[in-house]
Chain A
C-alpha cells in the first residue's frame, strides 16, 4: 500500500510517544481498539486547572496509519479545551493524512481515543 508523505512522516517521527502517570489527577487515559482487530490506541491527556489540554502522549499498536493518526491527534489536542478537543472529527484526521478508504477506521479510532480520554477526565473529576 502506498502511504501519503504525511503518514510516513508521522510514522517515522512519531510525536509525543510515551505515557504519563495514570494516577496523576490531571491525567486522563483513553484506550480504544482491540488486539484482535490489529489496532489498540492509548491516548493520555494532561489537563490544567483552566480545563486546557497542556500535554498529550500516545502509544499505539497498529498499522502505519493508526500510528500516524494517533501521533497527529496528540499534536491537535494540545492547547485545546476539552470541549474543543471533543469537536475533532475523524474526517479531519483522514483528510489531513490523506488516508485511503481501507484505513478510515484508523481515524475513527483516533477520534474515539480523544473522546475516551475526555470521558475518563470527566469521570475522574465528577462531571
Chain B
C-alpha cells in the first residue's frame, strides 16, 4: 500500500484522470484553445460551444437551467458574488443579513466585510449537533432582512442542513436565500427545481475537477439580480467579467457529468467505508463523533479523541493525510471555530480529527488507518497527564489551570 494515505478529500480532491484527459484538449495549438468570447472565427465558436456544454453538465447535476450557471474562480468567489452582490442590489429592502457561525470563512469573512460597509449581520449559533432549525431562523428574521446564507454540507463535520425547509421560510418572507454547496455537489441529490434556493455556490476541486474554477447558480424564476463584483468585458451576462478559462470549465463540466452518473454508487461505497472506520475506532474509550448522526454525508467524519491533542495526533498519524479540527497547523493556535460553535470545550475541540473519504479510498486504506489510530491514541494517552487525571477520576473542570 502506498503511504501516506489520503483522507483529506474535503480539503481537495485529485482531478479524476478522465477529467484531466478532457481538460488537456483545451490548451494547446492542436486543441481548442480559443477565447470563448471571440465571435469572429472558429477558434472562438468551438471554445464557446465547449463552455456551453459544460454549463449544461453542471446545470444537469443540480437540475437547474444552464442559463442559471455563472462561472467563477471557485466557491469562495461564488460566495462573495452571491452575498455581496445580492446585499448590494437589494440594499433598499434592508441591510440585515443572517448566517450561521459554522459557515465557511468565505461566507463569514464576506459578512464581516459587509458589516464594515454598514450592514448588520446575525450569526446564528447552531444546535450542539450542528443543525440550524427553521425556528432559529424565523426568530432572527427582521423586516429589513435581505439575505440569508446557510451552507448545505458543513466542511468540517459533514452535517447536512434542511435546505428545503429553510428555502420555504425564505421564500415566504421574500428573503434572498444563498446556499454554499461546495461540499454538497456530487455528494447528495440537489434539485434546484424543488428547492427554493435563489443562489447556490459550487466548487470544481471538491468534486474531482481542477482548482481555480467554480460556479454560482443564480435563479431566473423568480429572477434574482446581483450587483457585479468584478467589472470588465461583461462576461457571464455582466455578473462576472473575465475571460472564461475554457479548459477549467470543460473539466468542471466533465467532473459534474461523472458525478451525476456515478454519485449513487459512490455514496454507497463511501458509506460502507465510513461505517468500517467508525466500527474500527468505536472501542477506543472517550471517542466522540461530532455533528448530527443522521443528517450527514458519509464523506466527512469528524471525531474527537479526548485527552489527546490534535496536532500531536496528526503527527502520530503521519502516514495518513487528515486535518485537525484544531487550527493548530496554521499559524493560529485557536481550536476550530466550527467545533467551538457547537458548544464543545476547547480541549475536546483541540482533540478532533477530520477524516474525509473519497473516490479512491480503499478498504485496505481504512483498515490501515484504524490500526494507526489505535497505536497513536495508545502512545499519546500514555504520555498525557490529562488521561491520567481522567483515569484517577479528577474532573478537569475543577482544576485551577494556569492559562498561558
Contact = CB atoms under 8 A, between A and B. Distances in A.
A31 interface: yes
Contacts of B328: 38, 63
Contacts of B333: 37-38, 102, 105
Contact of B403 (A1, A36, A59, A102): A36
Contacts of B310: 38
Contacts of A52: none
Contacts of A35: 345-347, 350, 386, 396, 401
A97 B123 CA distance: 42
Interface string A44-66: 00000000000000011111101
A19 B335 CA distance: 28
B154 interface: no
Nearest to A17: B383
A36 B347 contact: yes
Contacts of B387: 61
B388 interface: yes
A21 B154 CA distance: 47
Interface string B375-404: 000000011111110000000100001111
B397 to A, nearest CB: 9
Contacts of A14: 383
Nearest to A1: B329
Interface in B305-342: 307-312, 315, 326, 328-329, 331, 333, 335
A37 to B, nearest CB: 6
A61 B386 contact: yes
A32 to B, nearest CB: 6
Given A17-B383, A59-B383, A64-B315, A102 B331 contact: yes
A32 B350 contact: no
Interface in B129-149: none
Interface string A10-26: 01001001010000000
Contacts of A39: 309, 404
Nearest to B308: A61
B385 A40 contact: yes
A64 B329 CA distance: 11
Contacts of B312: 11, 62-64, 66-67
A109 interface: yes
Contacts of A11: 312, 315
A36 B399 CA distance: 12
Contacts of B386: 35, 40, 61
B346 A105 contact: no
B324 to A, nearest CB: 10
A34 B308 CA distance: 13
Nearest to A100: B331
Contact of A59 (B308, B345, B388): B388
A38 B309 contact: yes
A119 interface: no
A61 B402 contact: no
B289 to A, nearest CB: 21
B401 A34 contact: yes
Contacts of B345: 35-36
A36 B309 CA distance: 10
Interface centre among B328, B383, B388, B404 (most CB of A within 10 A): B383
A112 B402 CA distance: 11
Given A42-B385, A63-B309, A105-B404, A37 B329 contact: no
A60 B333 CA distance: 17
A33 interface: yes
A88 interface: no
Given A3-B315, A63-B309, A64-B312, A37 B346 contact: yes
A98 interface: no
Nearest to A7: B315
Given A62-B312, A63-B309, A64-B312, A34 B403 contact: yes
Contacts of B401: 33-36, 40
Contacts of A63: 309, 311-312, 315, 328
A41 B310 CA distance: 16
Contacts of A60: 383-385
A19 B388 contact: yes
Given A35-B396, A61-B386, 12 more contacts: A11-B312, A17-B382, A31-B385, A35-B347, A37-B404, A40-B401, A42-B385, A61-B309, A62-B311, A63-B311, A64-B312, A112-B404
14 contacts: A11-B315, A32-B402, A33-B404, A34-B401, A35-B386, A36-B346, A37-B346, A38-B310, A38-B335, A61-B307, A63-B312, A66-B312, A67-B383, A105-B404
Interface of B: 307-312, 315, 326, 328-329, 331, 333, 335, 345-347, 350, 382-388, 396, 401-404
User: Can you list the 8 inter-chain pairs with the closest CB atoms, starting with the nearest?
Assistant: A34-B401, A35-B347, A36-B346, A63-B311, A42-B385, A59-B385, A64-B315, A61-B384
